[in-house]
């Protein structure tokens, strides 16, 4: 094996580990504060459903003082786009190996 294949393999491993760690860290951050965090990863989509909470008391005088914001219920769902993740995972790896083959082909002494 030539040195270019070795470099391509190293770049591929670094890329794969970096992409996986960034995705896992962002997912964990979203679990801590799902409404306020900005999603930077294109692999994670957030779906927010807002509904009005039903009052708990049956009598008008039993109801606690609530504002409109307190009466809202938020349901947050996250979806992971696996095919896009795999595309972004393998496309650079194939690119690194293709560039390595081209480099080794054209850099050989004639």
Domain boundaries, the chain: 3-106
H helix and E strand count, the chain: 2, 2
Query: What sign does the dihedral 8-98-16-18 (CA atoms) show?
Result: positive
User: Is the predicted pLDDT of residue 72 greater than 70, yes or no?
Assistant: yes
The model's pLDDT over 35-49, given as tens digits with 9 standing for 90+, comes to 888 888 888 888 888
pLDDT recorded at residue 21: 92
Q: Is the dihedral of CA 58, 60, 61, 67 positive or negative?
A: positive
CA nearest to 44, candidates 68, 17, 64, 24: 24
**pLDDT surpassing 60 at residue 103:** yes
Q: Average pLDDT of 98-104?
A: 84
Q: What is the pTM (predicted TM-score) of this model? A: 0.60
């Amino acid at each position: 094996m030539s040195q270019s294949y070795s470099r391509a393999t190293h770049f591929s491993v670094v890329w794969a580990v970096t992409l996986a760690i960034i995705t896992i860290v962002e997912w964990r951050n979203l679990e801590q504060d799902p409404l306020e965090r900005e999603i930077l990863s294109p692999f994670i989509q957030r779906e927010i459903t807002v509904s009005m909470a039903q009052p708990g008391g049956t009598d008008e005088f039993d109801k606690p003082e609530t504002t409109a914001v307190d009466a809202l219920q938020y349901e947050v769902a996250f979806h992971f786009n696996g095919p896009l993740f795999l595309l972004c995972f393998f496309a650079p790896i194939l690119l690194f190996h293709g560039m390595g083959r081209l480099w080794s082909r054209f850099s050989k002494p004639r």
